[in-house]
Structure 1
């Protein structure tokens, strides 16, 4: 039963990109719907759980939610630029690398020399897997490749910084997942609102697709809540490892459900790359035990 609970976050986070793409809209609509939906669910959870935080913990966690909103907004942009099946392995792999390096450099994780060696080997495996998922077997001119790749690379890098901050700030604040859920939801919604007003203006709030995108927030909230339960029942290492299986579902869903085209050779590279990302994630997840 605990393993089933542990797989629910993977399923929910795996179908989130599919739901977001099917609901449609621009990234600004999608991030508003996702964050507003999450904030509403976080209020309901707070009314039942009533966790307490200090003022400092509260605002640090609000900031982490704001960082996540920036990262997720950029990920939604990546979905539209390169598709879900390409964006998810890259985004997940970079998050694993970024959070792991931060854990080593800032929080003193992987203390032993052998543990660090295994950890860095796992990171190399993940990076190789990321590269393989981007291969499609097509030949392009150097100029066209440069023009198309570098803006997307920038989006992924900045998105990863947002996700890493989202993971790191609650650790600095020393709050549990239940304590951080409401302030993170608040930070997500406030940052999304600022992004929307800055990039699209107030009219985006009246667009139908913005409010249909509340479904995205419901899916994300299911993943976030069940991940908290999984971490309690299965432990952080197992819970984290199981949740990372979302990249497999999202990538396959992008190809099968969203009909994103890949060459036969590109499909083979994608499968191999996914396997490497998942293996690297499993190794890192178990090192967190």
Structure 2
């Protein structure tokens, strides 16, 4: 029971990042920079308490991974402004799950049993269906401007997914570091990546400082993800963390005023159900 409660924290913390940051406001580069400043503050506190052993490799690859993550987050914030949080977040999470799982299975041999391929295929199929329904728009209300914004949103999601996947592959498949040790070098890389997106025209404006709260939320989610995996196992921790898309969708509609037609609400419900079942199945595959 304790492990499940721990797993709820990253679900809520990570799922709330999109609508909380967009409620605070700011341009995508300001949101990213503010978030990374908060993450660096959180990582510094964790490092001072834990005092893990550090190495040159840890710093080098941690910083590289953080810069890749920053690229992914910047693209996601851009996509949210074009498509809305309730659409961009599930699409981003779904893309990461689908392509990340395929790369892990094909390139790194993570799936070795027939049951993993069977459940994995079903899970990925459900995620693709979820992709379709969460991004589906009512043709009666679609305008030329909406179509243009969606194209820009998909473009932003493309390089966002590349950044996120590169970061995940680096830490999960190539380099294996203790999460509490790598969090500080990664946070440094995150800030550098965000500064790069701002072309190093750094201004600590109020909206940037407010977005630091989002970075602290991200850090808290990371810590509780580790606790959940230790208490309840990777399957529970992974599955629950991915269900944060539900929080994003609900938050976007309730707190940001993103409107949906009756048809779009039905399609969104189908998409959510597919994401939930697909994520849970992938969690089972990872633990098999």
Query: Aligning the two structures, in what range does the TM-score lie when normalised by the shorter sequence?
Result: over 0.9
Alignment check: 8 A CA contact 1:12 1:219 kept: yes
1:32-181 alignment runs, 5 A limit:
32-139=33-140, 147-171=148-172, 172-181=174-183
Separation in 2, partners of 1:91, 1:157: 9
Which of 254, 259, 262 aligns to 1:261? It is 259
Separation in 1, partners of 2:276, 2:10: 15
Tell me the equivalent position of 2:273.
275
TM-score, with structure 1 as normaliser: 0.93
Tell me the equivalent position of 2:230.
232
Tell me the equivalent position of 1:30.
31
Deviation string for 1:93-126 (max 9, x for gaps)?
Answer: 1111121112112321111234213212211110
Deviation string for 1:249-281 (max 9, x for gaps)?
Answer: 110111112110010100110011011011111
Which runs of 5 or more structure 2 residues have no equivalent in the other structure? Answer: none
Which runs of 5 or more structure 1 residues have no equivalent in the other structure? Answer: none
Any idea what SS the aligned residue of 2:198 has? helix
Any idea what SS the aligned residue of 2:258 has? coil
Deviation at 1:153, TM superposition (A): 1.6
Tell me the equivalent position of 1:215.
213
**Matched length:** 285
Deviation string for 1:161-197 (max 9, x for gaps)?
Answer: 1111121111311112112211111110111111112
| More moved, 19-28 vs 130-139 | 130-139
Which of 189, 195, 198 aligns to 2:197? It is 195
Alignment check: 8 A CA contact 2:66 2:185 kept: yes
Alignment check: 8 A CA contact 1:61 1:169 kept: no
Deviation at 1:145, TM superposition (A): 7.0
Deviation at 1:143, TM superposition (A): 7.1
TM-score, with structure 2 as normaliser: 0.93
Alignment check: 8 A CA contact 1:27 1:77 kept: yes
Separation in 2, partners of 1:175, 1:106: 20
Any idea what SS the aligned residue of 1:197 has? coil
Tell me the equivalent position of 1:185.
187
| More moved, 188-197 vs 143-152 | 143-152
Evaluate the alpha carbon distance shift between residue 141 and residue 167 of structure 1 in structure 2; reply closer, same or farther with a 3 A threshold: closer
Deviation string for 1:42-92 (max 9, x for gaps)?
Answer: 011111112224322331122111111010011111111111111111111
Deviation at 1:142, TM superposition (A): 10
Evaluate the alpha carbon distance shift between residue 212 and residue 148 of structure 1 in structure 2; reply closer, same or farther with a 3 A threshold: closer
Evaluate the alpha carbon distance shift between residue 215 and residue 148 of structure 1 in structure 2; reply closer, same or farther with a 3 A threshold: closer
Deviation at 1:207, TM superposition (A): 2.0
